[in-house]
Amino acid sequence: MSARIFSPAKTAMQSGKAKTGYWVLEYDPEMPRKIDPLMGYTSSGDMRSQIRLTFQTKEEAVAYAEKHGIEFRVQEPKESLRRQISYSDNFRADRRTPWTH
């Protein structure tokens, strides 16, 4: 029984960082998923795959895993690099690349 502790990234539909910054503990799958021959659904008999625990900090998630004897690995989040640009920079006279039209 092993688990993964990670901080989820923002979704593609978000422009800000709301609903991020928390940590999640998810169990790794113990058995592979199967495709139902009649309907084509994917299913699994692994009940732990449905468990998703959330924590405020990484330390809380690690402490929970250690307390309950769960093997875990921590995936650190990637920090996104946001360039601070302004719309008026498009019209500057000393622009690096000239307009193409």
CA distances from 40 to 32, 43, 44 (A): 15, 9, 13
pLDDT of residue 100: 65
Mean pLDDT score of the chain, rounded to an integer?
A: 86
State the residue for tokens 């998630």.
61
DSSP 8-state secondary structure symbol assigned to residue 90? G
Judging by beta carbons within 10 Å of its beta carbon (0-12, 13-18, 19+), is residue 42 exposed, middle or buried?
A: exposed
Going by pLDDT thresholds of 50, 70 and 90, the confidence category of residue 3 is very high
pLDDT of residue 52: 94
Nearest Cα to Cα of residue 48 among 99, 4, 93, 95: 4
The domains found in the chain, sorted by start residue, are 2-76 (3.30.160.190)
Single-letter residue type at 93: A
Q: Does 25 have pLDDT greater than 90?
A: yes
Q: What angle do CA 79, 77, 57 make, to 5 degrees?
A: 115
Q: What is the pLDDT of residues 33-70, one digit of tens each?
A: 889 889 989 888 888 888 999 999 999 999 999 999 99
